[in-house]
Structure 1
């Protein structure tokens, strides 16, 4: 997959989910936007989990750990470049390595992710009723 395809397929989703890694708790509007974007991409909960663990967490957890990190917002262009570069290299041993360490890279945002998944499931239930 090339860089432009990654941006076209995942860019909106990646940027919508990035606030999970900020220094503040996501606002209600952040969660609403995340749910809306997730629903536009029509992904299963399992697919979302893999995106969270393998595509996003390895890049965004570095921002959380960095002393000079952006704490309140991300530079979308810089972040997109980092996410694309990471995901273009996410093959073979790198993929297995990140999978192995995904518990560590998601640990600080897991509670936010769980809250988001509860909201996605509730939204999907209301649509099916």
Structure 2
């Protein structure tokens, strides 16, 4: 897969989900936008989990751990460059490594992700477990 295909297929979704890693709790408006964008992509809850754990968290968790991280907003162009570069390298052992360490990279945002997934389930008419 090339960079343009990644941007075309995932860019909107990645940017919509990025606020999960900011230093503030997502607003109702943020969550509504995330659900709206998620619903435009034909992904199962399991597939969304892997987008969160493997495609996004390794890049965005670094921002949370950095003292100089961008905490109020992201430069979307720079963020997209970092996400595309990460995802172009996400093959073989790298994919396996990130899946093994995804608990660490998602730890700080897991509560937000769980809230978002509940909202997605409600939007889809599914019953939360």
Query: Under TM normalisation by the shorter chain, which class is it?
Result: over 0.9
> Which runs of 4 or more aligned residues in structure 1 lie more than 3 Å from their structure 2 counterparts after TM superposition?
none
TM-score under structure 1 length normalisation:
0.97
| Partner residue in 1 for 2:19 | 19
Distance in 1, Cα, partners of 2:71 & 2:78:
15
> Aligned residue for 1:83?
83
Q: Which runs of 5+ in 2 are unaligned?
A: none
Unmatched tracts of structure 1, length 5 or more: none
The equivalent of 2:117 in structure 1 is 117
State the alpha-carbon separation in 2 of the partners of residues 5 and 124 from structure 1: 27
1:11-68 Cα distance to aligned partner (Å, 9 max, x none): 0000000000000000000000000000000210000000000000000000000000
Q: Report the CA distance between 1:74 and its aligned residue.
A: 0.2
Aligned residues: 126
The residue aligned with 1:7 is 7
What TM-score, normalized to structure 2? 0.97
